[in-house]
Amino acid sequence: MNDKMLRDLYGLKYNPFEPDLPAEDLWEFGRAVPFLDRMNLLVRLGGFGLVTGMPGTGKSKLLQLLAARLEEQSNVVVGVMERPQSQQMDFYRELGTLFGVRLSPANRYGGFQALRQRWREHIKASLMRPALLIDEAQEMPADCLNEVRILGSVQFDSQCLLTTVLCGDNRLEERLKSPALMPLHSRVRAHLSLDGMSRDDMRSYLCHALEKAGAPQLMSEGLMAALADHAEGNLRRLNHVAGQLIWAAAQRKLATLDENLFLDLNVPGAAAASQRGRRAAR
């Protein structure tokens, strides 16, 4: 059984529980909407956005969704940092690559000025700030985080040349509260905390994922309720178990995924989750 056979069996456009999903089909959940709208405004004003939460709660997918939204605006330049753990020299090299500025490692001040000049030119031409998105930002050295703050600030902090979104686990927020990074933390203008989804959120996610993939009736109501309960607010855990279920169902050539399959997989806690799920589905 390969991925194409799985898709053909269930009439799927793609496997909805794999990480590589089309950006246009990503789940835009209720709590995310005000944050996304706020970031759409901040590309006109500049400043910092912050996304934090426990591992597996959908932070990176939210950043992917934000990048797709911003890129829909033809006059917004979006740079996505791929190596947040870099020290200052490599940090500047990556910024130069992202924003099309040729930088010399031997002349950091020249690179500082060249980046700011490029951003000023972009703002003058488009009235939009360039956007810098940094996932796993809890890994960034403190001096690089402060460098981002200083790079984007002009006219005694009365103007901002850059819109930056920092995304990371809860260690990031704790780090930003430290004395060394407090000036950056005080400049965060939009913060979304993803410390766990509700059972209703989990079920909404499953319905959305299956509908976008082209098989809205693939799972029974009882199974969706059981999975939502079993995942305990963690989207990654939900996707892992749902992915196991869909492959097991395909191997058995089952038309619908239900609680019996969930129990047969011997997932730890499945029996208790299935019982609670049955009650929730009634």
Q: What is the 3-state secondary structure (H, E, C) of 23-50?
A: HHHCCCCCCHHHHHHHHHHHHHHCEEEE
User: Is residue 274's pLDDT more than 80?
Assistant: no
Q: How much is the pLDDT for 263?
A: 87
What's the pLDDT at 197?
Answer: 86
Q: How many domains does the chain have?
A: 2
CA–CA dist 38, 189 (Å, integer): 9
Q: Band of the pLDDT at 9, cuts 50, 70, 90?
A: confident
Q: How far is Cα 136 from Cα 59, in angstroms, rounded to an integer?
A: 9
- Is residue 132 within 8 Å of residue 94, measured between CB atoms? no
How many percent of the chain have pLDDT more than 70? 93
Are the C-beta atoms of residues 210 and 239 closer than 8 Å to each other? no
| Band of residue 18 on the pLDDT scale cut at 50, 70, 90 | very high
Do residues 135 and 255 both lie within one domain? no
Compute CA distances 194 → 26, 29, 62, whole Å: 16, 11, 10
Confidence at 4, pLDDT banded by 50, 70, 90: confident
Is a pLDDT exceeding 90 seen at residue 273? Answer: no
43 CB contacts (<8 Å, ≥6 apart)? Answer: 70, 73, 76, 128, 129, 131, 163
* Same domain for 120 and 132: yes
Q: How many angstroms separate the CA atoms of 66 and 50, rounded?
A: 12
Paired residues of 84 in beta bridges: none
Instruction: Tell me: do 133 and 268 sit in the same domain.
Output: no
DSSP assigned state of 127? S
Domain housing 67: 30-194
One domain, residues 211 and 113: no
pLDDT of residue 6: 83
Q: Within this chain, do residues 41 and 125 fall inside the same structural domain, yes or no?
A: yes
The reply to whether 253 falls in a domain is yes
Report residue 106's pLDDT band, with 50, 70 and 90 as the boundaries: confident
Confidence tier at 278 by pLDDT (50, 70, 90): low
Give the length of the chain. Answer: 282
Per-residue model confidence (pLDDT) at position 245: 93
Do 179 and 41 sit in the same domain of this protein? yes
- Are 106 and 139 members of one domain? yes
Do both 253 and 175 map to the same domain?
no
User: Of all residues in the chain, what percent are helix, strand and coil, respectively (each to 5)?
Assistant: 55, 10, 35
The secondary structure of 186-205 as a DSSP string is TTEEEEEEES---HHHHHHH
Summarize pLDDT for 119-172 with one digit per residue, the tens: 999 999 999 999 999 999 999 999 999 999 999 999 988 889 999 999 999 999
Per-residue pLDDT reduced to its tens digit, 216-272: 999 999 999 999 999 999 999 999 999 999 999 999 988 899 988 988 886 666 555
pLDDT score for 38:
95
pLDDT digits (tens, 9 = 90+) for 60-105: 999 999 999 999 887 899 999 999 999 998 999 999 999 999 887 7
pLDDT at 272: 57
Residues 95 and 52 in one domain: yes
Domain final residue pick, 160, 194, 228: 194
Q: Which of the residue ranges 25-29, 37-41, 78-82, 273-277 would you say has the lowest mean pLDDT?
A: 273-277
pLDDT of amino acid 279: 58
Say whether both 100 and 180 belong to one domain: yes
Last residue of a domain, one of 143, 164, 194: 194
Asked if residue 25 is part of any domain, the answer here is no
- Of residues 6 and 87, more confidently modeled: 87
Please state, in angstroms and rounded to a whole number, the distance separating the CA atoms of residues 129 and 25: 26
Instruction: Provide the token pair at 102.
Output: 């040729």
Half-sphere exposure of 42 (CA within 13 A, CB side): 27
Output 177 or 270, whichever has higher pLDDT. 177
**Is 206 inside any structural domain?**
yes
